[in-house]
Amino acid sequence: MSSVKTDTDSLLVSEQKQLDRYLNQAEEWTNQYLSTSRDYQLIKKLDELPLSVEIYMNDSVRYWNSAAMLVSDESGDFTTLKKIGDDRNYGTIGISLSAYNTLHPNVYLKLTHDNGIGQLKIGEKSFEVALTQTTVRPWLRLPAWLLLLAGFLSWSLWLMIGIRKRQKEGSLIYKEIILLMLGFLAVKALHYLPFFQELMEGTALTETINLLCPLNSSIAHFVLNLAGAGILLYFMGDILRWVIDRWRISGKILAVFTFAFTYLVFAYSASLMEGFVMNRVVNLEIESLLKFNAVSFVLISGFVIVMLYIFHSTQVLFEALNQTKTSLTNKIVFGSMGCAIGLILSLWLMGIHLPIIVFSIYVIAYSLILDAYTENNDRKITYLIWWIIMFSGYMASALFLFWS
């Protein structure tokens, strides 16, 4: 393992200046917030600081930045540096080693309590500085990960073609299904192994940028989960038919499940978008389109794919529901039960940080239009326009609310 070569003295001097700059900026912007300026640009600046900032108005918390959200519960991790303001309206500035090391732009430099290469001082507090070791050249990591993804997709495609072929022949497909599942789980598990995380440390691929959705905590996990969901959706129609025939699912039960599923997937998509948008490295402002970075483009593309997945999965369910010849009355009664179950589960499992009434009306309207669409075999361009308007409007509204 080769160490990162650097001039230790110049590194310490440069980092000391950076720490002083962070503290001065935190003081200045906290004072501005406490006075009159609370505009979006000021909040964005505070959110980009690796120092923890919490602001209290009338003795109750009004704002906290990304670093404050990342503060660890471990004893000794957090240190309060300054308090600005009076007894009722004030701001606290602190440093959490775990948060600072996560948000700091230099991934090869970490603050620690001991065993460092030298000391830095911020306010009245001193910290040791350590250097992270690396075993691979940074520019090799992205191609290596893309090669891993391409290998997984090729393996999956080969198995999927084999499954379809054996289905037509009437042969058993358990072996291929097990191999498909094991392949996905193996690639996912690889990303949790310490040696792999060390190899990929410092890349945008594996950096934790979504704290609300642990299964999609990074770009790498998000892309892999999209691939896994795509494989599952490819066989969703077959799986659904097998379950209905095997367990003799009635139209009433299917109506409850269909509407509950529709509510849940929309709620999860909202939570997914919120978790990514809240991170400082993500820029999804339409006014700053030319400033989009690679992460932002991947996320926007991923969100569009999520919308397509939602449409396909719910369409399959509503087609199956209409094939049961369930009456309109039963659809309304049991569909309402499904929406209620979906709402309760969404609030319990992930929370809905959108106006609940508006969100519920949207999901119900989408479900009714999709029900009419799947019930009518005539696929008109009118429905296509409806889907484009509904999905683009939903995604734009959610992103705007979470970003603002």
Which structural domain, as residue segments, surrounds residue 38?
8-131
- Sign of the alpha-carbon torsion through 68, 71, 75, 78: negative
Q: Are residues 376 and 252 in the same domain?
A: yes
**pLDDT at residue 34 above 90?**
no
**pLDDT at residue 318 above 70?**
yes
**pLDDT at residue 6 above 50?**
no
Average confidence (pLDDT) over 89-96: 88
Average confidence (pLDDT) over 253-266: 96
Neighbours of 242 (CB within 10 A): 11
Percent of the chain with pLDDT over 70: 88
End-to-end CA distance of the chain: 44
In a domain, 69, yes or no: yes
Using CA atoms, how far residue 202 sits from 22, 237, 328, 357, 370, in Å, is 21, 41, 55, 41, 44
Lowest-confidence region among 20-29, 46-55, 68-77: 68-77
Using CA atoms, how far residue 208 sits from 99, 251, 276, in Å, is 11, 42, 10
pTM of the predicted model as reported, rounded to 2 decimal places? 0.73
Q: Are residues 239 and 381 in the same domain?
A: yes
Looking at every residue in the chain, the average pLDDT score rounds to 84
In a domain, 355, yes or no: yes
Confidence band, pLDDT 50/70/90 cuts, at residue 137: low
Average confidence (pLDDT) over 337-344: 95
Q: Are residues 241 and 115 in the same domain?
A: no
- For residue 191, the 8-state DSSP code is T
Q: Which of 131, 146, 180 corresponds to the end of one domain?
A: 131
Beta bridge partners of 64: 54
In a domain, 356, yes or no: yes
Q: Measure CA 348 to chain center.
A: 18
In a domain, 167, yes or no: no
Of the candidates 109, 57, 99, 54, the one whose C-alpha atom is nearest the C-alpha of residue 78 is: 99
C-alpha span between 52 and 29 (Å, rounded): 13
**347-371, pLDDT tens digit by residue?**
998 888 889 999 999 999 999 989 9
Q: Are residues 122 and 242 in the same domain?
A: no
Lowest-confidence region among 118-127, 141-150, 164-173, 238-247: 118-127
pLDDT of amino acid 74: 58
Lowest-confidence region among 164-178, 260-274, 371-385: 371-385
pLDDT of amino acid 309: 96
pLDDT of amino acid 383: 77
Contacts of 370 (CB under 8 A, 6+ apart): 262, 314, 315, 318
In a domain, 74, yes or no: yes
Q: Which two tokens stand for residue 236?
A: 């969703």
In a domain, 194, yes or no: no
Lowest-confidence region among 63-67, 121-125, 286-290, 381-385: 286-290
Structural contact between residues 205 and 145, judged by C-beta atoms closer than 8 angstroms? yes
Structural contact between residues 255 and 322, judged by C-beta atoms closer than 8 angstroms? no
pLDDT of amino acid 367: 93
Neighbours of 209 (CB within 10 A): 23
Q: Which two tokens stand for residue 20?
A: 């002083």
Burial bucket for residue 169 (CB in 10 Å: 0-12, 13-18, 19+)? exposed
Q: Are residues 252 and 127 in the same domain?
A: no
Lowest-confidence region among 89-98, 197-206, 251-260, 304-313: 197-206
C-alpha span between 82 and 71 (Å, rounded): 16
**pLDDT at residue 37 above 80?**
no
Helices (H), 105-250: 138-169, 174-190, 194-199, 219-234, 236-247
Q: Which of 86, 103, 131 corresponds to the end of one domain?
A: 131
Q: Which two tokens stand for residue 156?
A: 């999956």
Q: Which of 93, 110, 131 corresponds to the end of one domain?
A: 131
**pLDDT at residue 127 above 90?**
no
pLDDT of amino acid 135: 46
**Residue with more model confidence, 132 or 53:** 53
Number of domains comprising the chain? 2
Q: Are residues 122 and 248 in the same domain?
A: no
Q: Are residues 363 and 244 in the same domain?
A: yes
**176-211, pLDDT tens digit by residue?**
889 999 999 999 999 999 888 877 876 778 888 887
Using CA atoms, how far residue 156 sits from 165, 291, 343, in Å, is 14, 35, 34
In a domain, 240, yes or no: yes
Q: Are residues 240 and 111 in the same domain?
A: no
C-alpha span between 303 and 270 (Å, rounded): 10
The side-by-side arrangement of strands in the sheet containing 60-64 is 60-64, 52-57, 90-96, 78-85
Output 87-92 pairs: Cβ under 8 A, ≥24 positions apart.
87/59, 88/56, 88/57, 88/58, 88/59, 89/34, 89/56, 89/57, 89/58, 90/34, 90/55, 90/56, 91/30, 91/31, 91/33, 91/34, 91/53, 91/54, 91/55, 91/56, 92/52, 92/53, 92/54, 92/56
Q: Are residues 242 and 355 in the same domain?
A: yes
- Sign of the alpha-carbon torsion through 43, 46, 52, 58: negative
Q: Which two tokens stand for residue 300?
A: 């926007």
Confidence band, pLDDT 50/70/90 cuts, at residue 396: confident
In a domain, 174, yes or no: no
